[in-house]
């Protein structure tokens, strides 16, 4: 759409006409009139209202509708709903008013979007219960979440008008939830832009640095790519293919992730550019799969393939419907270059998603891959009562990479990466999981906690006398397995409690003993138990014997005084799940006000998070909990990112003041080529030349390479960076980096 001028004097009718004339399908008068009617209604409803940026509010619904039509590829009802998506939330109009004017289907979509508005409102915290609401809505009508993604994309594109504190929160939400959902729905272009914008606002300095370096090498990369693919193009012309070769550059966020994962600099990233071959289907009926492998053969006639780089997403498509052939070849310079092969259909789905492709082809309904994923979401929701646990399981089970596994009969199972034999057993049947001992893989027996690899065929081994144990929850990944284990443990607990109750009742009858509630409490204290249920459980599982209890009762009743005792047993028994919780209701701390980190006020007003150990000079953020000091995290801390997502309203902007007396602990990792005296040279430099205090020193060597881990005391990040730079100057040292971020 047209750029919006800085003075905010916008011709909204002109912007709407751009929307109306864009895309396809506007020649149908009835559909065109519906869109125009929705625009005029929304424009009047939002009349006089401005956004934070100062522009007329109606620009936002127009922009969202534009994304819905042209970037996601949805139809008239979705465009109409996008134009109306804020009317019920922000004006006096009701869902019934929308239904009367635009029909029940549009009203249903607008109602779904209205219910979600409180979940991701810019002045609200995203809480775990709201994630459930969002995802339940997703499973009912996919268009609701697609329009919501478009809404979030436009908000991210205009995020600069928001305060910095809210930029952090909204960016964290987007990276945590919206970008992964966009990826799972096949909206790769939108997913990439959401990631880029989120990274830009969460880590502006890193973004600017990498973006600048990427721009500096962009022209050379394109020249190298062209030089690389020209011989491929000539070969494909000989093979009579109609095709296009598209250079693909890594995004800033992707490069940053690679740098973090490998602890390397920008200059060490070698695969910044790859190429995608998009071919037009041949008319003689040759399958896409056959043509992909034909092109693969042609490319590998030109360049030597890297056998470790082949990934066949045609035979085993991703869960969002994505298909392509990925592989790597060695260029003439010896560099490994990734090549993607897609048909035009595959390429369209990769950019716009399956939903858009189905609509383009006039096919109603949902693709089976998306339906399966949505069913999995419903399964995770149904099997997690605790909201915070649900969020963790959702992220783990539905956003993680998947592996392909096989039963002995050849049936295919898809599970999250790092799933175990026990996960596999539960994925087939609960009873199989409950009695799982382990499994045979290629004829070799492995224990139940063995981590599976894609392509494994598993024969589950069971023992009918075996029952689940509490520690099993630590070796499974999937929500289904965790839920099944919890259900079994609850059932076991209830049965043991009932058994213990019967043992105690019969024992008291046998010894003709009665006990008061007061003495019962003394009995619990003498055995370090908290409740009657704990006592029954201890008797039921044999941890305490009936004789021990009788002896304790006799000690409490030395004269065998008969007292009346009424035994009470609560039929509903709960297992309290242990977990870290933030139970806060901030009243005294003003989270909207900048908080200064003043030397000497540690512990009284704030504390440094142990998970990431902030140092003066780090980019930091605070989290407030009533009655407790503000916890200071580094902005690149994983835990801080999770807290931003779940407890954004407790976020506090913080700023360092000058520290002159305090020191901070920092952990650094040193790697290099082992040689005589290398450890001594490193430690001498740190302690003698630089006069830095070392708290912990640990060096190990293997196969000619050493790995050193040192904890040092520094005043600020400048001192730490200087220290790292000096250590890097030692001959034999290959890398030095800070390791105390979670």
Helices 142-157 + 104-117 axis angle, to 10: 50
Q: Name the band, by pLDDT with cuts 50, 70 and 90, for residue 392.
A: low
Asked if residue 543 and residue 450 are part of one domain, the reply reads no
Burial of 305 (0-12, 13-18, 19+ CB in 10 A): middle
Q: Residue 583: which pLDDT band, with cuts at 50, 70 and 90?
A: very low
| Average pLDDT, integer, range 656-685 | 84
- Looking at the fold, whether 345 and 407 belong to one and the same domain comes out as no
The confidence score (pLDDT) of residue 258 equals 85
Helical spans, DSSP H, in 542-616: 546-556
Contact 716, 617 (CB under 8 A): yes
At 726, which CATH number?
3.30.70.260
Average pLDDT, the chain: 80
640/699 same-domain check: no
The rounded distance, in Å, linking the Cα atoms of 315 and 689 is 60
> Pick from 449, 392, 401, 396: which is nearest to 425 by CA?
449
294 vs 119, more confident: 294
User: Does the structure show a pLDDT above 80 at 689?
Assistant: no
* 176 assigned to some structural domain: no
Residue-wise pLDDT tens digits, 119-167: 544 333 344 555 555 566 555 677 888 899 999 999 999 999 888 888 8
Contacts of 431 (CB under 8 A, 6+ apart): none
256 and 278 housed in the same domain: yes
Average pLDDT over residues 167-194: 86
Q: Last residue of some domain: 556, 578, 613? A: 556
Q: In a 3-state reduction of DSSP, which class is residue 139?
A: helix
Q: pLDDT at position 664, please?
A: 87
Is the model's pLDDT at 376 over the cut of 70? no
Which one, of 115, 118, 80, 117, lies nearest residue 99 by Cα? 80
Where among 477, 510, 528 does a domain terminate? 477
Please tell me the predicted confidence (pLDDT) of residue 138: 57
Does 230 share its domain with 118?
A: no
- Both 632 and 672 in a single domain? no
Q: Which of 606, 635, 656 is the last residue of a domain?
A: 656
Same domain, 86 and 209: no
- Beta strands 620-623 and 630-634 are antiparallel
pLDDT for res 393: 56
Most trustworthy range by pLDDT among 122-136, 245-259, 342-356, 439-453: 245-259
Q: Identify the CATH number of the domain in which residue 315 sits.
A: 3.30.460.10
Q: What is the DSSP string of 607-641?
A: EE-TTT---TTS-EEEE--TTSPEEEEETT-HHHH
Number of other residues whose CB lies within 10 A of the CB of residue 195: 23
Residue 589 lies in a domain: no
Confidence of residue 59 (pLDDT cuts 50, 70, 90): very high
CATH number at residue 469: 3.10.20.30
Predicted pLDDT at 411: 77
pLDDT for 271 beyond 80 = no
Say what the pLDDT of residue 363 is.
Answer: 52
Q: Which contacts qualify for 441-449: CB closer than 8 Å, 24 or more apart?
A: 446/421, 447/421, 448/420, 448/421, 448/422, 448/472, 448/475, 449/420, 449/421, 449/422, 449/475
Sheet of 620-623, strands arranged across: 606-608, 630-634, 620-623, 651-652
Most distant pair of Cα atoms in the chain: their distance: 106
Cα 602–chain centre separation: 33
Q: Cα-atom radius of gyration of the chain, to the nearest Å?
A: 31
390 vs 741: CA distance, rounded Å: 25
Half-sphere exposure of residue 269, counting CA atoms within 13 Å on the CB side? 26
Ordered alpha helix ranges (H), 511-615? 517-526, 532-540, 546-556
Q: What is the mean pLDDT of residues 256-281?
A: 85
Q: Is 673 helix (H, G, I), strand (E, B) or coil?
A: strand
For residue 81, what is the enclosing H or E element?
Answer: helix 76-84
What is the average pLDDT across 323-331? 91
Q: Would 186 be classed as within a structural domain? A: no
As a whole number of angstroms, the distance between CA 469 and CA 488 comes to 9
Domains of the chain: total: 6
Contact 414, 403 (CB under 8 A): yes
State whether 440 and 466 are in the same domain.
Answer: yes
- Looking at residue 605, its pLDDT comes to 85
The answer to whether 410 and 398 have CB atoms below 8 angstroms apart is no
Residue 456, domain member (yes or no): yes
The Cα-based distances of 53 to 159, 299, 350, 593 in angstroms read 9, 50, 33, 21
Domain identity same for 470 and 507: no
Average pLDDT on 679-707 reads: 79
**Of the ranges 291-295, 308-312, 564-568, which one carries the lowest mean pLDDT score?**
564-568
Residues 602 and 715 in one domain: no
User: Cα 666 to the chain's mean position, in Å?
Assistant: 28
Residues 169 and 126: their CA atoms lie apart, in Å, by 9
Q: Are residues 35 and 141 in the same domain?
A: yes
Residue 393, domain member (yes or no): no
Average pLDDT over residues 47-75: 88
- Judge if 306 and 226 occupy the same domain: yes
Contact criterion met (CB below 8 Å) for 274 and 245: no
Measured distance CA(641)–CA(646) in Å, rounded: 9
Q: Which residues participate in catalysis according to the annotation?
A: 89-90
- pTM of the predicted model as reported, rounded to 2 decimal places: 0.64
Q: What is the 3-state secondary structure (H, E, C) of 466-502?
A: CCCCHHHHHCCCCHHHHHHHHHHHHHHHHHHHHHHHH
Residue 674 in tokens:
């082992």
Task: State residue 734's pLDDT score.
Answer: 80
Residue 576 inside a domain? The answer is no
Which of residues 118 and 68 earns the better pLDDT score?
A: 68
With beta carbons less than 8 A apart as the criterion, state whether 8 and 21 touch.
Answer: no
Backbone angles phi, psi at 557, to 5 degrees: -130, 70
User: Which CATH number is 89's domain given?
Assistant: 1.10.3210.10
**Structural domain includes residue 492:** yes
Find the distance separating the first CA and the last CA of the chain, reported in whole Å: 41
Segments forming the whole domain that contains residue 544: 488-556
Higher local confidence (pLDDT), 391 or 522:
522
In a domain, 390, yes or no: no
């Amino acid at each position: 759409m047209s750029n919006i001028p800085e003075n905010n004097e916008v011709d909204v009718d002109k912007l709407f006409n751009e929307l109306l004339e864009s895309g396809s399908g506007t020649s149908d008068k009835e559909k065109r009139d519906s869109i125009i009617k929705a625009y005029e209604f929304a424009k009047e409803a939002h009349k006089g209202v401005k956004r934070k940026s100062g522009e007329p509010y109606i620009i936002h619904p127009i922009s969202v509708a534009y994304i819905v039509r042209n970037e996601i590829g949805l139809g008239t009802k979705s465009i109409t709903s996008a134009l109306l998506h804020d009317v019920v939330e922000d004006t006096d109009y009701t869902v019934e008013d929308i239904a009367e004017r635009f029909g029940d289907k549009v009203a249903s979509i607008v109602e779904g979007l209205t219910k979600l508005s409180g979940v991701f409102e810019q002045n609200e915290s995203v809480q775990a219960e709201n994630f459930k609401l969002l995802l339940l809505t997703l499973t009912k009508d996919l268009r609701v979440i697609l329009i919501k993604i478009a809404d979030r994309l436009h908000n991210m594109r205009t995020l600069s008008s928001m305060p910095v504190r809210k930029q952090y929160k909204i960016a964290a939400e987007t990276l945590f939830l919206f970008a992964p959902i966009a990826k799972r729905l096949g909206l790769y272009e939108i997913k990439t832009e959401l990631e880029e914008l989120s990274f830009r606002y969460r880590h502006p300095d890193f973004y600017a640095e990498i973006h600048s370096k990427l721009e500096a090498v962009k022209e050379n990369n394109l020249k190298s790519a062209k030089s690389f693919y020209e011989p491929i193009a000539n070969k494909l012309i000989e093979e009579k293919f109609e095709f296009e070769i598209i250079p693909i550059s890594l995004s800033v966020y992707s490069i940053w992730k690679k740098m973090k994962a490998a602890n390397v600099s920008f200059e060490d990233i070698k695969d910044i550019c790859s190429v995608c071959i998009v071919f037009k289907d041949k008319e003689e009926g040759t399958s896409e799969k056959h043509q992909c492998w034909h092109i693969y053969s042609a490319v590998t006639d030109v360049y030597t393939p890297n056998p470790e780089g082949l990934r066949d997403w045609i035979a085993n498509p991703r869960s969002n419907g994505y298909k392509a052939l990925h592989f790597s070849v060695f260029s003439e310079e010896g560099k490994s270059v990734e090549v993607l092969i897609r048909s035009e259909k595959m390429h369209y789905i990769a950019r716009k998603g399956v939903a858009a492709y189905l609509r383009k082809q006039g096919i109603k309904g949902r693709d089976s891959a998306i339906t399966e994923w949505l069913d999995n979401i419903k399964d995770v929701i149904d099997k997690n009562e605790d909201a915070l646990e649900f969020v963790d399981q959702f992220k783990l089970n539905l956003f993680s990479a998947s592996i392909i596994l096989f039963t002995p009969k050849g049936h295919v199972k898809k599970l999250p990466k790092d799933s175990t034999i026990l996960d596999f057993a539960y994925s087939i049947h609960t009873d199989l999981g409950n009695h799982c001992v382990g499994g045979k893989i290629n004829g070799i027996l492995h224990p139940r906690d063995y981590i599976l690899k894609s392509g494994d065929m598993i024969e589950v081994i069971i023992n009918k006398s075996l029952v689940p144990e509490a520690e099993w929850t630590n070796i499974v990944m999937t929500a289904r397995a965790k839920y099944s284990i919890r259900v079994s443990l609850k059932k076991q607990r209830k049965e043991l409690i009932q058994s213990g109750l019967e043992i105690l009742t019969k024992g008291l009858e046998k010894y003709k003993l009665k006990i008061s509630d007061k003495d019962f409490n003394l009995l619990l204290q003498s055995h370090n138990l908290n409740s009657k249920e704990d006592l029954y459980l201890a008797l039921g599982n044999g941890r305490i014997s009936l004789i021990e209890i009788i002896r304790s009762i006799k000690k409490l009743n030395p004269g065998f005084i008969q007292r009346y005792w009424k035994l009470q047993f609560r039929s509903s028994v709960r297992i309290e799940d242990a977990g870290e919780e933030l139970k806060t209701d901030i009243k005294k701390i003003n989270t909207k006000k900048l908080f200064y980190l003043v030397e000497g006020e540690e512990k009284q007003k704030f504390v440094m998070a142990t998970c990431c150990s902030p140092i003066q000079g780090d980019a930091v953020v605070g989290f407030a909990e009533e009655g407790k000091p503000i916890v200071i995290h580094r902005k690149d801390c994983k835990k801080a990112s999770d807290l931003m997502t779940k407890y954004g309203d407790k976020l506090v902007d913080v700023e360092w003041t000058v520290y002159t007396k305090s020191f901070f602990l920092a952990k650094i990792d040193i790697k290099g080529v082992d040689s005589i005296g290398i450890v001594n040279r490193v430690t001498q430099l740190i302690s003698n030349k630089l006069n830095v205090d070392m708290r912990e020193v640990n060096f190990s060597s293997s196969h000619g390479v050493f790995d050193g881990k040192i904890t040092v005391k520094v005043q600020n990040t400048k001192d730490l960076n200087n220290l790292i730079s000096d250590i890097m100057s030692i001959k034999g040292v290959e890398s030095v980096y800070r390791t105390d971020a979670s």
